[in-house]
Amino acid sequence: MSMGVKAVNTASGAVMLAAYILYAIGKDVPQPETFESLGSWAEFMLAFMGMAIVVMIAVNVVYHIAFSVRIAVKSQGSDDEEVCRMVSASLVEDEMGKLIDLKSMRVGYACAGIGIVLTLAVLAYGNSPILALNIMFVSLFMGMIAEGLFACRMYTGGVRHD
């Protein structure tokens, strides 16, 4: 994916994470924690993930339409076939893009993995299962955001072959 797509995905993911955190902070947690309260958190997380997927798809569609329109406006004198060729050529991923995606995925997986280990530690020391569930959920979103930020940094700063 290009840097623009990564930046748009990262920004929309950050907005969705902020919305979730604002909701989670304001939500009343019943005491003692019962399975029903865990179940309600899990239901909300599933619904939120579905909503996040729909938002991300919509944002990507709008971005690609705007990108295509921008290319068409820049090449006003060209015919339709030329504009289509320019749009499709700009969406092709080269070897550098693939390398950046692989390196950024490694960063995203590391963030998500650290969150899973932190979740297990929270549970092992007898803390709230709701806290553990939220840590796991937020760490997955943070992994996605870290992956996008790292990819954008790699696109602007170049790729080192380590």
* Domain map (residue ranges) of the chain: 3-157
Cis peptide before 129 (omega within 30 of 0): no
User: What average pLDDT does range 68-78 have in this prediction?
Assistant: 77
Query: How many Cβ atoms from other residues are within 10 Å of residue 109's Cβ?
Result: 13
The residue behind tokens 């960063």 is 107
The residue behind tokens 């329109």 is 69
Q: Is the pLDDT of residue 48 over 60?
A: yes
Query: How many Cβ atoms from other residues are within 10 Å of residue 76's Cβ?
Result: 7
Query: Hey, what are 49's tokens?
Result: 């993930």
- To 5 degrees, how large is the angle CA 26–CA 27–CA 31? 130
pLDDT of the residue at 5: 83
User: What average pLDDT does range 111-121 have in this prediction?
Assistant: 95
Provide Rg for the chain, Cα atoms: 20
pLDDT of the residue at 121: 95
Q: Is the pLDDT of residue 161 over 70?
A: no
Q: Is 9 exposed, middle or buried (0-12, 13-18, 19+ CB in 10 A)?
A: buried
122 or 84, which is more confident: 122
pLDDT of the residue at 34: 57
User: What average pLDDT does range 109-120 have in this prediction?
Assistant: 95
What's this model's pTM, rounded to 2 decimal places? Answer: 0.79
Q: Is 28 exposed, middle or buried (0-12, 13-18, 19+ CB in 10 A)?
A: exposed
